[in-house]
Amino acid sequence: MSSPIKDERMKERMRELAAEFLNRESTRAALLTVTNIELSSDGKHATIMLSILPIEKAYAAVSFANRHRAEFSEYMKKHSKMHFLPRVEFAVDKGEQNRQRIDELLVTE
């Protein structure tokens, strides 16, 4: 079992690497922002949460990111000193979507 501080450092490094990787590999059809990393308690699985604009491109952007998981794992191996790399999955950050929708509703009223 790892310490919470070590987990936070690992999550932050993964967030940085995911942002760099997606910036380099994306087609720029949508704006992808890495908002959070959810790490399983055993550290074997990580979900990288993305905020995507425009929202209509969310499905295509997440599909793109998940198709490139193997390349991202190689990128993490090359650019980090992590001894164990978790299995990565990309997903839309629904919390961020909801926050943006609330902001839209507040502005229009």
Q: At 52, which CATH number?
A: 3.30.300.20
Under DSSP, the state recorded for 109 is -
Residue range(s) defining the domain that contains residue 65: 4-108
Q: Look at residues 20, 23, 50 and name the one whose alpha carbon lies nearest to residue 34.
A: 50
Tokens of 12: 């932050």
pLDDT one digit per residue (tens) for the chain, 109 residues: 467 888 899 999 999 999 999 999 988 888 999 999 999 988 899 999 999 988 899 999 999 999 999 999 999 999 998 888 999 999 999 887 787 778 888 887 6
User: What is this structure's pTM?
Assistant: 0.85
- Number of domains within the chain: 1
* Nearest to 32, CA basis, from 59, 60, 68, 61: 61
DSSP-based three-state secondary structure for 29: coil
